[in-house]
Amino acid sequence: MVIYVGNGYEYKFDSSTNTVTLTGVEHFDAGHTFLCGQCFRFDQEDDGSFTGVAHGKVINVKTNGTTVQIRNCTEEDFKNLWERFLGLDTDYGAIKESLSGEEHIDKAMEFGWGIRLLNQEPFECLISFVISTQNQIPRIKKIIRKMCELFGDKITFDGKDYYTFPNCHKLASLTEEDLAPINAGYRTAYILDAAKKVASGEIDLDIICALPTDKAKAELMKIKGVGPKVADCTMLFSLQKGDAFPVDVWVQRIVRQLYLGENASIKEISAFAGERFGMHSGIAQQYLFFYARENG
């Protein structure tokens, strides 16, 4: 069975192995997408593929040129979850065209040609980036892994155990003592504050998603441990705010070096992004971030 999906590629579904194979997919590479720092729950396998958990399910994603293979994936889940999760419903050719025309961003886009913005689950994304503050990726992943092991649900794939991300009610029911084993340090209180505000409805991520970016950001920043950077990451990676431009140390470095000079403030960097990259600031940030980090 071959079905035209409508975003420039075709897909085949093999029900005997629960594998979806897409052909003719441009602008997508699993390594670029999962290693550019937007998510912490997908790990690389020996064969170069990536396995991770989202939406309470495990999938394995492998790219080879313009072919994408997704294992442990039903046809229904592909259409309802993974096409959107992986950003395969978005026309990256058009986005890149609108961003190009200047040497630095062109070089960054060429380098990270296969990055797509994932559409992650908002609560998981929020908590993950609260954990990310003043922290390094291996430790962020470790804390999240431990939290899922202790408070998520176990699912098995390929003979290995994986764990779902605990929901807001589960986390809101915990104490700092319960969370002590994950070693999140001072972030533990922030995790609990976020979980309680979301569980109680004081912070409604669906409503925030429908707000314009500046208002959504102000709402998110009512949570302890959520400043401008964490709010921008949450909006960009899970609330479809493509104009959000998270400014972290790497982005500061590269924007100063390439565009604005040593003395540019974070405010000036944000303003520059809005003017230069507009509604696609977020994906531009990912290209620049990946380019900066991979090249020191």
Partner DNA sequence: TTGCAGGGGTCAA
Partner DNA sequence: TTGACCCCTGCA
Catalytic residues: 229
DSSP 8-state secondary structure symbol assigned to residue 165: P
Give the binding site for DNA (CB under 7 A): 36-38, 40, 132-140, 142, 183-187, 221, 223-231, 233, 246, 248-250, 289
* Six token digits for residue 281: 């600031």
Task: Give min distance, CB of 129 to DNA, in A.
Answer: 7
Residues in the chain, total: 296
Nearer to DNA, 99 or 140 (CB): 140
Listed in sequence order, the residues at least 6 apart from 296 whose beta carbon sits closer than 8 Å to its beta carbon are none
Nearer to DNA, 73 or 231 (CB): 231
Nearer to DNA, 150 or 155 (CB): 150
Nearer to DNA, 20 or 39 (CB): 39
3-state secondary structure of 69: strand
**Nearest to 276, CA basis, from 92, 105, 90, 27:** 105
Find out whether 292 and 259 touch, Cβ atoms under 8 Å.
no
Task: Give min distance, CB of 228 to DNA, in A.
Answer: 5
**146-176 burial, b for 16+ CB within 10 Å, e for fewer?**
bbbeebbeeeeeeeeebbbbbbbeebbebee
Give the DSSP H or E segment for 242: none
For 271: left if phi > 0, alpha if psi spans -120 to 50, otherwise beta; the answer is alpha
Nearer to DNA, 122 or 246 (CB): 246
Angle of CA points 273, 280, 49, to nearest 5°: 115
Task: Give min distance, CB of 211 to DNA, in A.
Answer: 18
Task: Give min distance, CB of 20 to DNA, in A.
Answer: 26
Task: Give min distance, CB of 23 to DNA, in A.
Answer: 29
Measured CA distances, 246 to 54, 229, 284 (Å): 23, 5, 10
